[in-house]
Structure 1
C-alpha cells in the first residue's frame, strides 16, 4: 500500500508505505483551535511515513506536537507518544482506503454542531478507536 498527500501549496509532500488506521474525528479544544473545526485523522507507523519539504512543528503540549506547512499553513500531522504519527485525512491525495470509524473528545466539541452519523462517540480518548490499524 502506498498513499501520498501534502499541503495546499505543495511545499510539503509525504508518502506512506504502511498500513493506515481508520479515520477518527477528534473534537478536543486543541484540534478545534488549530483547524477551525474538528480534525479527522488517520495514523501510520512513523517508519512508514516519508516527508519531503520543511514541516514547521509546534509543541502544543508537553506530550505532543503539531506539524504544518510554514508557507500555506496547512495542518498536516499530530505527533505524540507511541509508534504512530497522525496524518490529517484532508491532506491525503485520492482515496486512502480508510473510512471514519468514530469520534473522540466529544465532551469538548463545539456547541454549533451535532454528531449524528451513528458512529461511536467517546467523551475522551479511546485506545480501541485510536490504535486500530487496517
Structure 2
C-alpha cells in the first residue's frame, strides 16, 4: 500500500500494490501545469482509493485528458486519460518510500531549454 496527499492534506489517496516505474514527461503542457517536468506513475483505477474528492478540481487539457489538482492548495496530483483503465499520479504527492525509480523520459523534443537530462535513462523524443 502506498499513500499520498496534496500539500495541505485536503486530498489524500492510497494505491494498493506496487507502483509501476514512473516516467518524466517534458511536454509543454506538463511543464506548464507542474512548473517543471511531470514525473508520474500509472496505476489501475481499481487500485486507487481517493479521499477528499470534493476538493479536487479537474482541468480538461484536451479531448482525451483531464488534470486534477487540489482546489485548496493547488497541488498537481493527477493526469487522467479519460477513456483508459489507468490514471497517472504525481510522484511528488506520494509519501516515502515509493519503492520505485524513474524509468525513462518522454516528450524530450519539447523539454525546457533551462535544464539538461543527464541521468542516463532512456529518452523518447515523443
Q: Is 2:67 aligned against 1:66? A: yes
Q: Which deviations, in whole Å up to 9, do the C-alpha atoms of 1:76-109 show, x marking residues without a partner?
A: 0000042210000000001111100010000010
| In 2, Cα distance between equivalents of 1:68 and 1:60 | 13
What is the CA–CA distance in structure 2 between the aligned matches of 1:31 and 1:112, rounded to whole Å? 15
Q: What CA RMSD, in Å, does the superposition of the two structures yield over aligned residues?
A: 0.8
Aligned match of 1:102: 104
Unpaired runs of 5+ residues, structure 2, are: none
CA contact (8 A) 1:18 1:44 kept: no
Number of residues of Structure 1 aligned to a counterpart in Structure 2: 123
TM-score normalised over the length of structure 2: 0.95
After superposition, where does 1:1-134 map in structure 2 within 5 Å?
2-53=1-52, 54-80=55-81, 81-124=83-126
Q: Which runs of 5+ in 1 are unaligned?
A: 125-134
**C-alpha separation in 1, matches of 2:98 and 2:18:** 10
Per the TM alignment, residue 21 of structure 1 is displaced from its structure 2 partner at its CA by 1.2
Q: TM-score, normalised by structure 1?
A: 0.89
Whole-Å Cα distance in 1 between the matches of residues 17 and 42 of structure 2? 10
CA distance in 2, matches of 1:114, 1:30: 18
Which aligned runs of 4 or more in structure 1 are off by greater than 6 angstroms? none
**Would you say the 8 A contact 1:25–1:40 is kept in 2?**
yes
Report the CA distance between 1:18 and its aligned residue. 3.0
User: How far 1:5 sits from its partner (Å)?
Assistant: 0.2
